[in-house]
Amino acid sequence: MSPMIVQPDDSVIKDAAAKLRAGGVVAMPTETVYGLGADTLNAAALRRVYEMKGRPANNPLIAHVHDVAAAQRVVRQWDERCGALAEAFWPGPLTLVLPKADDVPPEATGGLDTIAVRCPDHHIALRLLAAFGSAVSAPSANRSGHVSPTTAQHVADDFAGCEALLILDGGPCVLGIESTVLDVTSRVPRILRPGSVTVEQLRAILGDVDMPIIDSQGASPGTAAAHYAPNTPTILVPTCDLQRVLAKSTVATVVLCFSEISDVPPQYVIEMSGNAAGYASRLYGALREADECGADRIIIEKPPMDDPDWRAILDRLHRAAT
Ligand code: TXA
Ligand code: MG
């Protein structure tokens, strides 16, 4: 049996909120990727989310909130910097890490004393959060380590067999990669995971912001080197080497590229956008499609290294290819 994908009208949203209140799990669309949501204040419901995903218990979750007041309810501190960031970027793909409120259970934070909060820019998520009336913790709705889901069907594919799972269908996610995670517990805020909100945009509001090197292990707990990974072995190849590598290839290959390549069998080409926003929105769907080809390997043409618009994409590609 498969999970249930539903087109949410008012009565579905009401039922989904009731399900959350009863300790259930609901998959919801956001502008970044789909999330697997449960009540932030309900430890048993959160344990179910970890169990469904196969997620390590020390990998903390993001609490999704309808507005600043709902965020303030789950954090212990909210300073002027947070106010300015929320004003500039919420609803939107910016997650803030702050000291957690005392009654937030450890399951919501992977046992940490901090909690991540964000207000998603998606009308269905916002309607659900309004109806529920409190924070909803939601990791990306994929099995742990797998490619994140950007359609309701991706969620159903990862949780085939979870027939009790309700999936709210909000169509394809517009941005397609996860939010920027910013630690604001220290004097100089620090990016733990790059996303569509860039360090340049954050510096324009905050002044100093630390940005880790993108090739590294990842700064936030759970941003392991291998993550967002297709099942097929995946390598990144610079544009200048692409044609040569393909010409020498003797195994069935799926190629994700934005440059023109001449036909060198045996290969299957997935054409990607040369524009960062277009590329991001298509990326996870393309990786899933590449996996379904049953090829021996996936070759991804490496996007530009020095362009801020491509930074979050490169971060995900490095992890997909680890
Ligand atoms: O765009 C997104 O952020 C999506 C949608 C559903 O909102 N969610 C998402 O959740 O990507 P997840 O669980 O796949 O990734 C959460 C990231 C992880 O890298 C985790 O380590 C970090 O946020 N994180 C969460 N709480 C944290 C905390 N207290 N301290 C440091 N990092 C934290
Ligand atoms: Mg994830």
Q: What is the pLDDT of residues 259-315, one digit of tens each?
A: 988 867 778 999 999 999 999 999 999 999 999 999 999 999 999 888 999 999 999
59 CA: nearest ligand 1 atom: 21
- Cα 80 to averaged position of ligand 1 atoms, centre (Å): 23
- Give me the pLDDT at residue 2, please: 84
Indicate if the pLDDT at residue 218 is higher than 60.
no
- Give me the pLDDT at residue 66, please: 98
The predicted-structure confidence for 116-134, as pLDDT tens digits, reads as follows 999 999 999 999 999 999 9
Q: What percent of the chain has pLDDT over 70?
A: 95
Indicate if the pLDDT at residue 216 is higher than 70.
no
- Cα 292 to averaged position of ligand 2 atoms, centre (Å): 20
- Give me the pLDDT at residue 14, please: 98
- Cα 262 to averaged position of ligand 2 atoms, centre (Å): 35
- Cβ(176) – ligand 1 distance below 6 Å: no
- Cβ(115) – ligand 1 distance below 6 Å: yes
36 CA: nearest ligand 1 atom: 6
- Give me the pLDDT at residue 322, please: 80
- Cβ(109) – ligand 1 distance below 6 Å: yes
Nearest ligand, CA 62:
1
- Cα 176 to averaged position of ligand 2 atoms, centre (Å): 12
- Cβ(60) – ligand 1 distance below 6 Å: yes
- Give me the pLDDT at residue 212, please: 81
The stretch 20-39 carries a mean pLDDT of 98
Indicate if the pLDDT at residue 227 is higher than 90.
no
Indicate if the pLDDT at residue 48 is higher than 60.
yes
pTM: 0.95
218 CA: nearest ligand 1 atom: 19
Indicate if the pLDDT at residue 75 is higher than 80.
yes
- Cα 244 to averaged position of ligand 2 atoms, centre (Å): 34
Mean pLDDT score of the chain: 94
- Give me the pLDDT at residue 281, please: 98
What is the 3-state secondary structure of the chain?
A: CCCEEECCCHHHHHHHHHHHHCCCCEEECCCCCCEEEEECCCHHHHHHHHHHHCCCCCCCCEEECCCHHHHHHHECCCCHHHHHHHHHHCCCCEEEEEEECCCCCHHHCCCCCEEEEECCCCHHHHHHHHHHCCCEECCECCCCCCCCCCCHHHHHHHCCCCCCCEEECCCCCCCCCCCEEEECCCCCCEEEECCCCCHHHHHHHHCCCECCCCCCCCCCCCCCCCCCCCCCCEEEEEHHHHHHHHHHCCCCEEEEECCCCCCCCCEEEEECCCCHHHHHHHHHHHHHHHHHCCCCEEEEEECCCCCHHHHHHHHHHHHHCC
